[in-house]
Amino acid sequence: MKKDLGLYIHIPFCVRKCAYCDFLSWKGSEEQREEYVRALEQEILSYKEFGADYQVSTVYFGGGTPSILEGEQIERIMEAICRTFRITGKPEITLEMNPGTALREKLELYKRLGINRLSMGLQSVKNENLKLLGRIHTYEDFLESWRMAREAGFDNISGDLISSLPGQTLEEWKEELEILMETPLEHISVYQLILEKGTEFYEKYGGHEELLPDEETSAEIYLWTGKYLKSRGFEQYEISNYAREGRQSAHNLRYWERKDYLGLGLGAASMIRNMRMTNTRSWDKYMAYCRDPRKIREEVEFLEEPRQMEEFMFLGLRKTRGVSRKEFYRIFGRELDQVYEKTLRKYLDQGLLKESRDRIWLSDQGILVSNQVFADFLFD
Amino acid sequence: MSAIDQSKIRNFCIIAHIDHGKSTLADRIIERTGLLTEREMQSQVLDNMDLERERGITIKSQAVRTVYKAKDGQEYIFNLIDTPGHVDFNYEVSRSLAACDGAILVVDAAQGIEAQTLANVYLALDHDLDVFPVINKIDLPSAEPDRVINEIEDVIGIEAQDAPQISAKTGLNIDEVLEQIVKKVPAPGGSPENPLQALIFDSVYDSYRGVIVFCRIMEGRVKKGTKIRMMATGAVEEVVEVGYFGAGQLIPCEELSAGMVGYITASIKNVKDTRVGDTITDQENPCAQPLPGYKKVNPMVFCGVYPADGAKYEDLRDALEKLQLNDASLFFEPETSIALGFGFRCGFLGLLHLEIIQERLEREYNLDLVTTAPGVVYKVHKTNGEVMDLTNPSNLPDPSEIDYMEEPMVKAEIMVTTDYIGPIMELCQERRGQYQGMEYMETTRALLHYHLPLNEIIYDFFDALKSRSRGYASFDYEMLGYEQSDLVKLDILVNKEEVDALSFIVFAGSAYDRGRKMCEKLKEEIPRQLFEIPIQAAVGSKIIARETVKALRKDVLAKCYGGDISRKRKLLEKQKEGKKRMRQIGNVEIPQKAFMSVLKLDDK
């Protein structure tokens, strides 16, 4: 039987760099974009032999802003994928897009190519926030994109929001979510603003954390989000993800469940059979060696069993349903409770972890301090 | 080498306040007398240790011998003995002075006389040295040589009109200094025919030769084969080699005789046998009496020293043993702390000595250390009549067994410009000082006399003094003995658990204030954890202060990293690494530097 695989396709271009963004992305010229798509096609095709052992059930176009590419370019990438990999009957194929970058024809083309899920980078429903974040679009652009996507036949649309913006209060955040509810969505991701080095925001707010919502406000915003979205039919399934029934992102879950995925394109990360690797972030290197994936891979690391166990815990516990003792035993042949006896006891006692006979998961309070808990699942 | 004419020997030292240019002048003298060419001259030859050079202070005594051809056409042998410049090493200073016949007093032409200058001059005069002044740094724009000359005459009462006005830095008028050494420092007395009587003013350990004893021959002679005896320690050894000091090297010679300064090696294994101040005599033909002034120096300041990594305990022991080979005043014994594990209780001459040892352990032996708050030695008089020396607060007996306690006192002299007399008196008062009197040196400067408890000055008194006088006050002290005092042990409880390594002894009247500050400080130092942590200060069973480290509310990575799990892992690993550097007390993780926080309680 063929093994299951997910594909991540990185498109490193965007119309303009946002003030908070530290991802590998920049504007790029038309020529550069075309050059990149060609190289990407080569990279994908070079996996022909490897691809024979797998069948692909999820594809994710991320960025950057994939929708900045011409429709025809996305088409060529999809073609390369189909020539290289066998795709299962009902795949989940997601494309990230920014409001204002995809017109009707593009959306209709996406639909024809088999893309069946859109992830819209809305970030905020308030135009002053969008401006602060350095976004190129307005809330009205989002409404327009959403309407066109629905008309093109997309019935699985996700919206991304960023919370804990400078000066944000819980009340303001409540308003945002209430406005968001006016537009029917199937899935919502809420990220909390993190100041990352090298971004405009870091320059502006680094060392001035008093301008950002304090820890207590952020915690309230976080907890309230879960409660409110639940009341509106969105179940939280991961630290930052909420979905209507049956609309969880299969590709995202793959990361937390440690299923194999292959990253394609500049700087894309892969995990194949406990081997983690990341493609080069160097444009020249990528262009030169796109036909020979071994030469563009950097940071290749095979995860020994203890590392696998650690990941099993700190990734699995990101999901609200947590981890399964049975599954741990099935994979590692050891009892989870023995391997992590002290850590589990400590956090169960503190009420940060909860358990049933099989499963262990983070409580709401546990999620709030999850980094502390996760760090304890690393071995000495 | 032909016999040396005793009348042509000049044994002298340079005394000065810190930064007044002692070592620079020493360099110039060595350079001018031709011992080293300028090219060979590394700045400040006498300060050997890296640490000494960095800190600009002399830690160990050093000596050097040079030859000077004077204007009278005669050649003179100069033995320059460099003395430590810090109050922690006062005893070493006094022994170095005892090895000299004269002293050059260096005074900064801009700063004038400072407290340490006075202390050192008095020490030199006590040893009957002829002291002559030199005015240094006259090239500075702010130099006021005439004022300083008058000050020297008025305050110290020594002739200063013909004091050379020099710049040790540029070399200006150094020749005048050399001529005055010849004229004003008396030739050494003593006779080579008398029984051997030599003063040890320092000793160093050398892994090839054993201990090298630095000494001044007062009477008699010593050479290879002489059986010598250290009169205080009783150690007897046969001399392997004698010699004198070149620049940075030892030069062997036939014999050392009365009036000379040099070294002796005798395959002595430990500096403990060659205490500074002890008298060396000839076992076969001993002198009637040892030289006066020997005392065994006792450590004044104690603290716990622990390896940050418990596995390095043996390494720490080795390092301490090696340092002790060279430093008889360093004391250590094993101790155990509930909070810190296995370590050592170490005794030092003072806080500077402590810092130096700590730095050397970390630098030269590559050890990562956790040190507890330094404390002084208290005398505990128990109800059963016993008296114990308390060096570790954890060993304080139950209050019901204590009759009364005593603490060490110092006699302090503080020199300050009159503008700052108020703030400085206030500071001394806060530190439980007893005012003894005040003298005006000139219209603008005064000398304050106080008796102060040692434990009030060991941490940060010097810094406080500087900050409250904008740098204009200088300070010197000597030990005064013990005085009865109302002392209590202040305990710190973290999450209701007593942390032994944070306990300290404090004056009862200050307990509340210190306890409160300590809790506030610890609140800053202890990172928030997953639960609320009460920090309490207690005297006995009574809680006198409390702070709370609030629980960590939120530490979550709600961010989209795509499949870049390695980046997530790195963040978690960093977090884990941070936790590792902390000490686990019960459920609470305490960073290592928190154990030093008592040091930083004062002077906002």
Q: What is the pLDDT of residues A190-204, one digit of tens each?
A: 999 988 888 999 999
- Residue A302 confidence (pLDDT) above 80: yes
Least CA distance to A61: which residue of chain B? B562
The contacts of residue B582 (CB under 8 Å, 6+ apart) are B589, B590, B591, B592
Q: What is the CA radius of gyration of chain A?
A: 21
- Mean pLDDT of the residues in chain A: 94
User: Is B311 in the A-facing interface, judged by CB distances under 8 Å?
Assistant: no
| Residue A95 C-alpha, separation from nearest chain B C-alpha, in angstroms | 13
- Residue B55 confidence (pLDDT) above 70: no
Tokens of B281: 């005599």
Any idea what the Cα angle at residue B554 is, between residues B551 and B558, rounded to 5°? 165
Q: What is the mean pLDDT of residues B388-404?
A: 92
**Residues A8, B558: C-beta atoms closer than 8 Å:** no
| Residue B553 C-alpha, separation from nearest chain A C-alpha, in angstroms | 7
- Show residues of chain A in contact with B555, CB under 8 Å: 368-372
Q: What is the mean pLDDT of residues B506-515?
A: 92
Any idea what the Cα angle at residue A352 is, between residues A349 and A356, rounded to 5°? 75
B603 or B477: which leads in pLDDT: B477
| pLDDT tens per residue, range B534-561 | 999 999 999 999 999 999 888 888 776 6
- Residue B45 confidence (pLDDT) above 50: no
CATH number of A305-375: 1.10.10
Region of residue A371 (phi > 0: left; psi between -120 and 50: alpha; otherwise: beta): alpha
**Residues A276, B566: C-beta atoms closer than 8 Å:** yes
- Residue B523 confidence (pLDDT) above 70: yes
B293 or A377: which leads in pLDDT: A377
**How many whole angstroms separate alpha carbon B124 and alpha carbon B105?**
10
Whether residue A237 contacts residue A257, with contact meaning beta carbons closer than 8 Å, is answered with no
Q: What is the mean pLDDT of residues B81-110?
A: 83
Least CA distance to A160: which residue of chain B? B560
**Residues B563, A261: C-beta atoms closer than 8 Å:** yes
Whether residue B403 contacts residue B380, with contact meaning beta carbons closer than 8 Å, is answered with no
Band of pLDDT at residue B474, cut at 50, 70 and 90: confident
- Show residues of chain A in contact with B552, CB under 8 Å: 369, 372
Nearest to A269 among B560, B562, B572 (CB): B562
pLDDT value of residue B598: 66
User: Is B579 in the A-facing interface, judged by CB distances under 8 Å?
Assistant: yes
- Show residues of chain B in contact with A371, CB under 8 Å: 555-557, 571-572, 575
Least CA distance to B552: which residue of chain A? A369
Tokens of A359: 């499963």
**How many whole angstroms separate alpha carbon B378 and alpha carbon B393?**
9
- Show residues of chain B in contact with A314, CB under 8 Å: 568-569, 572
**Residues A219, B553: C-beta atoms closer than 8 Å:** yes
Tokens of A275: 């081997």
A352 or B59: which leads in pLDDT: A352
- Residue B468 confidence (pLDDT) above 80: yes
Alpha carbon of residue B34 to chain centroid: 32
**How many whole angstroms separate alpha carbon A270 and alpha carbon A277?**
5
**Residues B563, A371: C-beta atoms closer than 8 Å:** no
- Residue A169 confidence (pLDDT) above 90: yes
Residue at B439: amino acid letter: E
pLDDT value of residue B41: 44
Whether residue B442 contacts residue B151, with contact meaning beta carbons closer than 8 Å, is answered with yes
**Residues A315, B565: C-beta atoms closer than 8 Å:** yes
- Which three-class secondary structure state does DSSP give residue B281? strand
**How many whole angstroms separate alpha carbon A192 and alpha carbon A189?**
10
Whether residue A30 contacts residue A83, with contact meaning beta carbons closer than 8 Å, is answered with no
User: Is B573 in the A-facing interface, judged by CB distances under 8 Å?
Assistant: yes
- B453 strand-pairing partners: B409
- Show residues of chain A in contact with B557, CB under 8 Å: 194, 239, 370-371
**Residues A239, B566: C-beta atoms closer than 8 Å:** no
| ipTM for the complex shown | 0.90
Least CA distance to A272: which residue of chain B? B563
**Residues B565, A255: C-beta atoms closer than 8 Å:** yes
Band of pLDDT at residue B248, cut at 50, 70 and 90: low
| Residue A32 C-alpha, separation from nearest chain B C-alpha, in angstroms | 24
Q: Which CATH architecture has domain A3-255?
A: Alpha-Beta Horseshoe (3.80)
| pLDDT tens per residue, range A101-151 | 878 999 999 999 999 999 999 999 999 999 999 999 999 999 999 999 999
pLDDT value of residue B279: 94
Residue A64: cis peptide before it, omega within 30 degrees of 0: yes
Band of pLDDT at residue B38, cut at 50, 70 and 90: very low
- Measured torsion, CA atoms of residues A253, A256, A260, A264, in degrees rounded to the nearest 10: 80
Backbone angles phi, psi at A69, to 5 degrees: -70, 155
pLDDT value of residue B94: 82
A210 or A321: which leads in pLDDT: A321
Tokens of B541: 């069973």
- Show residues of chain B in contact with A375, CB under 8 Å: 572-573, 575-576, 579
Nearest to A374 among B529, B553, B572 (CB): B572
pLDDT value of residue B56: 46
- Show residues of chain B in contact with A215, CB under 8 Å: 553-554
pLDDT value of residue B600: 65
Pairing of strands A359-362, A323-324: antiparallel
Whether residue A292 contacts residue A308, with contact meaning beta carbons closer than 8 Å, is answered with no
Residue from B512, B579, B590, B511 nearest B549 by CA: B590
Whether residue B539 contacts residue B555, with contact meaning beta carbons closer than 8 Å, is answered with no
Q: Within chain A, which residue ranges are assigned CATH 1.10.10?
A: 305-375
A340-344, B70-74, B205-209, B598-602: which has the highest mean pLDDT?
A340-344
**How many whole angstroms separate alpha carbon A67 and alpha carbon B564?**
22
**Residues A269, B568: C-beta atoms closer than 8 Å:** no
pLDDT value of residue B11: 95
Residue from A20, A64, A371, A12 nearest A196 by CA: A20
User: Is B581 in the A-facing interface, judged by CB distances under 8 Å?
Assistant: no
**Residues A369, B554: C-beta atoms closer than 8 Å:** yes
- Residue B44 confidence (pLDDT) above 50: no
User: Is B565 in the A-facing interface, judged by CB distances under 8 Å?
Assistant: yes
- Mean pLDDT of the residues in chain B: 86
Q: What is the mean pLDDT of residues B56-83?
A: 78
Any idea what the Cα angle at residue A167 is, between residues A161 and A168, rounded to 5°? 40
- Interface A-B, measured as beta-carbon pairs within 8 A, has a size of 96
Tokens of A113: 């190519």
- Which three-class secondary structure state does DSSP give residue A83? helix
**How many whole angstroms separate alpha carbon B238 and alpha carbon B248?**
25
- Residue B59 confidence (pLDDT) above 50: no
Which residue, among B309, B533, B549, B565, would best test binding to A if mutated, counting the most A CBs under 10 Å from its CB? B565
The beta strand positions in B96-194, using DSSP E, are 102-108, 130-136
Q: What is the mean pLDDT of residues A185-192?
A: 96
Whether residue B209 contacts residue B252, with contact meaning beta carbons closer than 8 Å, is answered with no
**Residues A278, B566: C-beta atoms closer than 8 Å:** yes
- Which three-class secondary structure state does DSSP give residue B488? strand
Least CA distance to A260: which residue of chain B? B563
Nearest to A219 among B554, B572, B576 (CB): B554
Band of pLDDT at residue A264, cut at 50, 70 and 90: very high
Helices B421-430, B461-468: crossing angle, 10 deg rounding: 150
Nearest to B557 among A190, A301, A371 (CB): A371
Residues belonging to chain A with any Cβ–Cβ distance to chain B shorter than 8 Å: 8, 62, 160, 189-192, 194, 215-216, 218-219, 222, 239-240, 255, 261, 263, 268-271, 276, 278, 299, 301, 310-311, 314-315, 350, 352, 367-372, 374-376, 378, 380
Chain B (517-556) residues lying within 8 Å, Cβ to Cβ, of chain A: 529-531, 552-556
Question: B12 burial class (0-12, 13-18, 19+ CB within 10 angstroms)?
Answer: buried
The contacts of residue B331 (CB under 8 Å, 6+ apart) are B299, B346, B347, B348
pLDDT value of residue B516: 93
Q: What is the mean pLDDT of residues B224-232?
A: 93
**Residues B530, A371: C-beta atoms closer than 8 Å:** no
| pLDDT tens per residue, range B279-314 | 999 999 999 899 987 777 788 889 999 998 888 999
Band of pLDDT at residue B427, cut at 50, 70 and 90: very high
Least CA distance to B529: which residue of chain A? A372
| pLDDT tens per residue, range B443-458 | 778 899 999 999 888 8
pLDDT value of residue B37: 45
% of residues, chain B, pLDDT over 70: 92
Nearest to B563 among A191, A271, A369 (CB): A271
Tokens of B337: 């702390």
- Residue B57 confidence (pLDDT) above 70: no
Nearest to B556 among A8, A263, A367 (CB): A367
pLDDT value of residue B533: 94
- Show residues of chain B in contact with A94, CB under 8 Å: none
Residue from A331, A209, A214, A359 nearest A274 by CA: A331
User: Is B586 in the A-facing interface, judged by CB distances under 8 Å?
Assistant: no
Which residue, among A173, A259, A304, A372, would best test binding to B if mutated, counting the most B CBs under 10 Å from its CB? A372
**Residues A311, B553: C-beta atoms closer than 8 Å:** no
- Show residues of chain A in contact with B571, CB under 8 Å: 371
**Residues A216, B557: C-beta atoms closer than 8 Å:** no
Tokens of A268: 């894309």
**Residues A352, B579: C-beta atoms closer than 8 Å:** no
Least trusted range by pLDDT, from A131-145, A159-173, B43-57, B137-151: B43-57
Backbone angles phi, psi at A235, to 5 degrees: -90, 130
User: Exposed e or buried b for every residue in B289-326, given b needs 16+ CB within 10 A?
Assistant: ebbeebeebebbbbbbbbbebeebbeebbebbebbbbb
| pLDDT tens per residue, range B326-365 | 777 889 999 998 888 899 999 998 888 888 898 889 888 8
Any idea what the Cα angle at residue B245 is, between residues B242 and B250, rounded to 5°? 65
Q: What is the mean pLDDT of residues B398-413?
A: 93
Instruction: Output the DSSP codes for A318-373.
Output: TBTT-EEHHHHHHHHSS-HHHHTHHHHHHHHHTTSEEE-SSEEEE-HHHHHTHHHH
Q: Within chain A, which residue ranges are assigned CATH 3.80.30.20?
A: 3-255
Residue from B86, B79, B81, B85 nearest B97 by CA: B81
Q: Side-chain half-sphere of B444: how many Cα atoms within 13 Å?
A: 8
Nearest to B556 among A189, A371, A376 (CB): A371
